[in-house]
Amino acid sequence: IPPVSSRRSLRDLREEIVGAYAHEFADKLVVTVNLREHQAQQVYVIGEVVKPGNIEYSDPFNPLTAVASAGGFLPTANPSEVMVLRLREDGKYDQWALNLKGIDDGSEDIARFEILPRDIVYVPKSGIAVANQAVEQYIRRMLPFPVSIGAGFFYPLNNN
């Protein structure tokens, strides 16, 4: 059978394979060809990363690799409370809370944690980001005038 281009439709591929067997064996062999499209395995990274979404899985894959593949942490991220969710066969999720900030301390646990296809890596907002969002949503938008907080200091230029 000649090499197959990945740009052909499944129907064309099926006809080519059946035709090649028919040419070789005529009516001495009946061939049924079942083909299906292959989709790359995915890992999902959501939350406070530069490019949230699905990432093509490759082996080996760990949580830090997943975050790096999503463009890295946003300034609003809390890398010390990253969640990994894995769907079980019974429809429930297993979950792990990981400290990806700990990788700076020489922790090898993060590098050994294996991400599997279809896992979800969730990077939450930091505490200050959550507080800023609450202030924006519940205080600033409710007031009919702009609110700002500032600080200043006064320093005399001469001794008078």
**54-110, pLDDT tens digit by residue?**
998 887 888 988 999 999 999 999 998 999 999 888 989 899 988 888 655 555 566
pLDDT tens-digit series, residues 118-157: 999 999 988 787 787 777 777 766 666 666 666 677 777 7
Confidence tier at 2 by pLDDT (50, 70, 90): very low
- pTM surpassing 0.85? no
Query: 77: which strand partners?
Result: 125
Gap between the Cα atoms of 32 and 153, Å rounded? 84
Residue 111's alpha-carbon distances to 25, 98, 103, 105, in angstroms, are 53, 11, 8, 12
